[in-house]
Amino acid sequence: MAGKNWWRGAVIYQIYPRSFLDTDGDGVGDLPGILAKLDYIAALGVDGIWISPFFTSPMADFGYDIADFRGVDPLFGTLEDFDRVLQKAHALGLKVMIDQVLSHCSDQHPWFLESRQSRTNPKADWFVWADARPDGTPPNNWLSLFGGGAWRWEPRRGQYFLHNFLPSQPDLNFHNPEVRRAQLENVQFWLDRGVDGFRLDAINFCFHDKHLRDNPAKPAELRTGRGFSPDNPYAFQYHYFNNTQPENLGFLEELRALLDRYPDAGALGEISSEDSLATTAEYCTPQRLHMGYSFELLTEDGSPGYIRQTVEALEAKMTEGWPCWAISNHDVQRAVTRWGGAQADDALARQLIALVCSLRGSVCLYQGEELGLPEAEVPFEALQDPYGKTFWPNFKGRDGCRTPMPWTASQDAGFSTGTSWLPVAQTHRERSVERQLADAGSVLHSAQAFLQWRKAQPALVHGDIAFFAAPENVLAFVREAEGQRLLVAFNLSADTVQWHGFAGGKLLQVPGLVTPEMQAHTLLLPPRGVAFAQFVSQERC
């Protein structure tokens, strides 16, 4: 991945700093902790890392509420600590992407502290301010994703301000060119420091409808949200006006022009809109973002039909861009639990890594996926996530996927010498890095072997994709590039599947995976089985 377009087909390891490794005993992971484990990450066979926010923040949303876009919060270390991470990662051949949260900031940011003081100060128009209706209610019906209305009254100005997330995360007014310029300068600061790219948080939320039109109601039968509580009123609306505005396309082109001034810098946009696949395709072009991912594979539906439908829909829409897939991250229940339930096992964990790394596109692997970590149970009294606290008990928030990384089987999991900010799950200690490194048959060793093998398969790294007719419960597709044609099949069920008349060619022995059996022309796929074959048939479906 050292050449041009390093991000194309790359496997990017997501690090959630608070939960990765704590080196100073305060119970919160830090940049020196990342530095200490870069050799481990490089040994996995990934191509780069994405570090979730480490910027100065009051931590109301654990770093996604930024009070200084160029500063490192003392919880995580110093700017010099980041430079050391960057230097060592590059020495190990790892690219470094960092989060950029451009659409909003913390209410403790100096910009907002100034803006809220009056309607005439130099920053007065840097945020989305609006007068109350005649009866004193907010200017429209927009809702916050974290529950309740998206407007908060500010007595200093006698106006409401917009917050699509927490009230302590005011939205910036991107209709103001000074705001756009300031955020591009913040991006440039990190480019000048040597980062290789950015994961752009909530990038479709930068602009709002200038006319503040009400969002229309959504019928009850369509209120199926992704990543939030089923009783969250946010699902009661079509979010046509509080995000994903046409003006955002121009800003993305400004951002791309900046990125193009730096050798091979890449941008990955997080996109959540009413039609996320269409928005992803629109945002990811040679003039805008390099890559985009939405939440379509972060749902509870892990069936072959749904995965095929989702990938084919994006492929049909995205004629110029490059997709990026993730099945776990810091915002959703871990995939082995979400798709496997209580019966999730190591076979599923191995399969899911192979699956997401075999789709056309780049990949984000979340820390702990390589260990097969299930979702952790976090009791209410230990809950930290404001989202979970609001919607408990119907929705337990995001803490279950954010618990500390288990490095050892000890009580503290080798994460911290102090009291960790979230409790360590016993089920995670049993799957610690230390234990799995000592077990040649572990999920960790399987992941390492598969990821190293994938690097040498051009069809998997940057090839085309075409789905293939297969038995029920089997997801099958062909990847092809540079004369290599691979048929890839996944038995997504807990039962053995017989594929009669299998015409996929010679089965490959893939490191880290069990090669299924062939009897005559019948492929026997064990529960959660995976098959890679040198493809020979011209059949398509």
The torsion angles phi and psi of 181, rounded to 5 degrees, stand at -65, -45
Q: Which position has the token pair 């409790």?
A: 423
Distance CA 118, CA 157 (A): 5
Establish whether 270 is a catalytic residue. yes
Q: Are strands 517-519 and 506-507 parallel, antiparallel or unpaired?
A: unpaired
Pick from 29, 57, 81: which is nearest to 368 by CA? Answer: 29
Contact indicator for 352, 326 with CB cutoff of 8 Å: no
Residue 393: asked if its preceding bond is cis (omega within 30°), the reply is: yes
Angle between helix 247-259 and 276-283 (nearest 10): 40
Distance CA 29, CA 205 (A): 29
User: Can you say how many angstroms the Cα of residue 480 is from the centroid of all Cα atoms in its chain?
Assistant: 26
Using DSSP's 3-state secondary structure scheme, residue 143 falls into strand
Lookup: tokens for 421: 């900010």
Q: Which position has the token pair 């654990």?
A: 62
Distance CA 283, CA 214 (A): 25
List, in sequence order, every beta strand (DSSP E) within 84-232: 95-100, 129-130, 151-154, 159-162, 197-200
Q: Which of 30, 201, 209, 385 is catalytic?
A: 201
Lookup: tokens for 489: 């099949």
Q: Which position has the token pair 């429209």?
A: 140
Angle between helix 177-193 and 247-259 (nearest 10): 30
Establish whether 201 is a catalytic residue. yes
Lookup: tokens for 77: 């270390």
CB atoms within 10 A of CB 536: 12
Secondary structure (DSSP) of 12-77: EEEE-GGGT--SSSSSS--HHHHHHTHHHHHHHT-SEEEEPP-EE---TTTTSS-SEEEEE-TTT-
How far CA 442 is from CA of 134, 347, 445, 448, 497, in Å, comes to: 64, 10, 5, 10, 24
Q: Which of 30, 65, 270, 282 is catalytic?
A: 270
Half-sphere exposure of 529 (CA within 13 A, CB side): 21
Lookup: tokens for 471: 């038995």
Contact indicator for 248, 204 with CB cutoff of 8 Å: yes
Using DSSP's 3-state secondary structure scheme, residue 406 falls into coil
Pick from 181, 162, 70: which is nearest to 116 by CA? Answer: 162
Lookup: tokens for 376: 């952790």
Distance CA 328, CA 334 (A): 5
Which residues are part of the catalytic machinery? Answer: 201, 270
